[in-house]
Amino acid sequence: MPTLRDPGNSFEWIVHARARLARRRTEKPATKAGQILALWPDIEAALQAGQSVKSIHRWLEEDAGITLGITSLTSYFSRIRRRIATQRQAQPANGQAVPSNAQSAIPPPVATQLSQRQLEQSDPLAQAKRVLSQPKLDIRKLHNDGDPEGSNLI
């Protein structure tokens, strides 16, 4: 009886292994983070449609059997959003992803994309960076005091 390790079955074992992995991808993830990550496109669509985190929390308990506190749920949301934001920043201008050793387990959001404003809101320093990049105010020019250019010294 031929086994999967026989040299003659070198192609068949790949087919069998891929089929087993495809079946396992559809299984419920073992961790709560993995379960929320698997449902993220639907969760994000519900949030952008105006649903509250509290109602999503209730739905996850009732429909998916995921029991956790609201603070833990919002922590998972923040982690997922940060990971998506860093992945988008790592992409070059031509749209091709930069290969990395990091595990990319987040499925692309189906229903929505994060807007630039949402990315700025997730970066606590975005407003400060924008303000500091603007030209500085010179109080002497504002009040016509002194000569900031140094042309009329006498």
The CA distances from residue 127 to 65, 122, 123, in Å, are 39, 11, 8
DSSP state of 153: -
78 domain residue, yes or no? yes
pLDDT at 103 over 50: no
Instruction: Summarize the confidence of residues 83-96 as an average pLDDT.
Output: 75
Q: Could you give the CA distance from residue 17 to residue 142 in angstroms, rounded to a whole number?
A: 73
Task: Give domain status of residue 118, yes or no.
Answer: no
Residue 108 lies in a domain: yes
Examine residue 150 and state whether it is found in any structural domain, yes or no: no
> Which residue type does 62 have?
E
Give pLDDT tens digits for 23-51.
888 888 888 988 898 899 999 999 999 99
- Would 15 be classed as within a structural domain? no
Residue 127 domain flag: no
Span 104-139, pLDDT tens digits? 445 554 434 455 555 556 677 777 777 778 777 766
151 found inside a domain = no
* Assigned domain for 92 exists: yes
Residue with tokens 């109080």: 139
Q: Is the pTM of this model over 0.95?
A: no
pLDDT tier for residue 93 given thresholds of 50, 70 and 90: low
Which structural domain, as residue segments, surrounds residue 95? 31-112
Q: What is the domain count for the chain?
A: 1
